Amino acid sequence: MDIAVLIKFVPDLVEELEIGASGAALDRTFLRLIPNEQDDHALEQALLLKERHGGTVTVLTLDTGDVDETLFTAVAKGADRVIKITGDFGEGINNHAAVTVLDTALKNISFDLILTGTQAVDDLDGSIGPLLAARLGLPYVGYVTGVTSADGKIVARKEYPGGLIAEMEVRLPAVLGIQAAEKPPRYVVTSLIMQAMKTAQIEETEAGAVEVRGAAGVARMSRPEATTHAELIEGDADQVADALVTLFKERGLLS
Amino acid sequence: MTTVSTNDHSFYDKVLEATPRGERLKLCLQCGMCSGICPYGFAMDYPPRSLVAALRADDFAPVFESETIWLCVSCFACTSICPAQIPLTNGLLASLKTEMLIRRKVPAELQTALENTRRYGNTLGESPRKRAAWARDFTTPVPIMAQTKEPVDVLWFVGDYASYHPRVQPVSKAMAKIFQALGVRFGILGPEENSDGDVQCLAGERGLFEMLAQKNGKAFRKYQFKEIVTTDPHAYNVFKNEYPSAGFSFPVKHYTQFLAEHLEQLKPLLRHEQKYRVTYHDPCCIGRANNNNIYEEPRRVLKVIPGLEFIEMPHNRVNSICCGGGGGGNWLDGFAWERTHTRMSEWRVKEALDSGAQILAVCCPYETPRFEDALKSMGREKELVVKDIAELLADAIFG
């Protein structure tokens, strides 16, 4: 099975986030970008499938800055090809636009399955997986925590709220949004990453014209604003009940 | 003497390549002193003696199937007692950990610390830009080398825990005040400082160690200083014994050595009596590790504090009990607990409690939080205070 893994770079929340001069986007001057954690799980799931069933793993990422080390790390972990899509992404790129770029890049790659994280911290206009699946006309299953494969089909383990798990049979090719890989992402020693930096080749492809359509625009960005705080009602049960009744009456919930 | 032959020659070759004097493995008498003194040897499938035996019996493959090498906290007890002076802790054991990392058999807690180091330059996963944030609210500023650009006498290597850990930051503040009170011309690297690499090296992540050594070594080369003084025994150990192999040799002192050399200047500053019974824990990394043997200097410093009554614990100096935090052990507490149902840090504080001391004095940034946690988990946190020597001195100077 040939698997394409999409890795997106997101702001690192270890650093303070600042809002830029426009007031509608992050200040990118000191922004540290790291690979989206769930995309790292998508890579791990792809490597586990490759180890079980053979095939190849190709990693694609938009060159939003400092992506090389992550791509070499992917090679050191066992990825076969790593592709950097270059273009003018300096001020960031929304997911609708990213999907058009990925669509073009994926035309030159043979794949049975596309894996990516179910979501990312900066998904302001929907997540990559379903947007891409809709554009490619492929089935999509999100919140996946495990994948088995047999007879040209796969079964995705999908998590629902409330502790429910569904096993969904999916025809290929398909797009899966990974919530968590079956095992935690593997460790790869620094010396193997250094070796990959010396021997592996990052393929580069031009993004071409970026089509932006259908994304919601950001009018204003602000820090969460604290308004009122929780009020603790103290006393014995009767006192608390009286206070609640008074409160409900004040708010018009009781007559 | 028998020659070592093994079905996994590549591993044996790796041990030799990574370890100066690694060929001494051939001199093993199988006396078993190493396994006997190993604090977690009882829970290891292959304590050190068995590892050497497996290597010599051409039967090392099963060793890779066991994960109990991760119980090793690099306390150097085995290496220190070995009559054949075989480099075990930073030789065979570190090489086995390297092999386990390559085979991806690494406990998750340690993996996170290693990944944090690679990304942020510190094990805690904190912002590298905030490395000197602890020093921000000082009335007399703590000089950062890149800002002052002036030659100093002392380049103070602060370290990860001392920079970021909320329990250890007050120790750093105490040390800054002591340097200032002594009138020492000093500076810190601040955001240019990276994790020293000692625990990463002893946990087998040699490549990560090399990366850190390059970053710190190049930062050291940028500035003029007479010597490095560090509050971290791990930094002392790795700068003195491992950085030269990465091409960086600088004079380095542990802060207790530096203060012991300045006792005459220090004494008149100690105006506030500290009427406590105090015992002292010898950290492995300035003690038996690589025969660093810094045993008397911390004691000399403690003993000049007026009013202080010094008590020795039975396990002291070369026989000190490890806190369990070295060689990656600081991130393997859960792993060790699952297999041993005991904590080394508890053994240490029990002995301190039994000694009748009111204060357990330490001089390693892992130890204040580790020993305080041990006391809390035993429910005895009200019976013993854990303080860094720098904190005790600051109390005696400033009241």
pLDDT, tens digit (0-9, with 9 covering 90-100), for B271-296 = 999 999 999 999 999 999 999 999 99
How much is the pLDDT for B8? 55
Q: Which residues of A touch B102 (CB under 8 A)?
A: 189, 192
Question: Above 80 in pLDDT, residue B332?
Answer: yes
Paired residues of A156 in beta bridges: A147, A168
pLDDT over 70 percentage in chain B: 98
For A142-148, what is the mean pLDDT? 97
Nearest CB to B211 within list A184, A186, A190: A190
Give the angle A130-A135-A138 at the CA atoms, nearest 5°: 70
Contact B313, B351 (CB under 8 A): yes
Res. B16 pLDDT band, cuts 50 70 90: confident
| Whole-angstrom distance, CA of residue A47 vs CA of residue A40 | 11
Helix locations, chain A, DSSP H: 37-53, 68-77, 95-106, 128-136, 190-199, 237-250
Q: Is A187 on the interface with B (CB under 8 A)?
A: yes
A152/B328: higher pLDDT: B328
CB pairs under 8 A between A and B: 40
Reported as a single tens digit per residue, the pLDDT across B56-96 is 887 899 999 999 999 999 999 999 999 999 999 999 999 99
Tell me whether residues B102 and A30 touch, CB distance under 8 A.
Answer: no
Tell me whether residues B101 and A187 touch, CB distance under 8 A.
Answer: yes
Tell me whether residues A190 and B208 touch, CB distance under 8 A.
Answer: yes
Q: Is B201 on the interface with A (CB under 8 A)?
A: no
How much is the pLDDT for B7? 47
Nearest CB to A184 within list B108, B207, B211: B108
Q: Is B179 on the interface with A (CB under 8 A)?
A: no
Tokens representing residue B79 in the block: 């290496």
Question: Above 60 in pLDDT, residue B3?
Answer: no
With the C-alpha atoms ordered A220, A224, A226, A229, is the resulting torsion angle positive or negative?
Answer: positive
Whole-model pTM: value is 0.93
ipTM for the predicted complex comes to 0.92
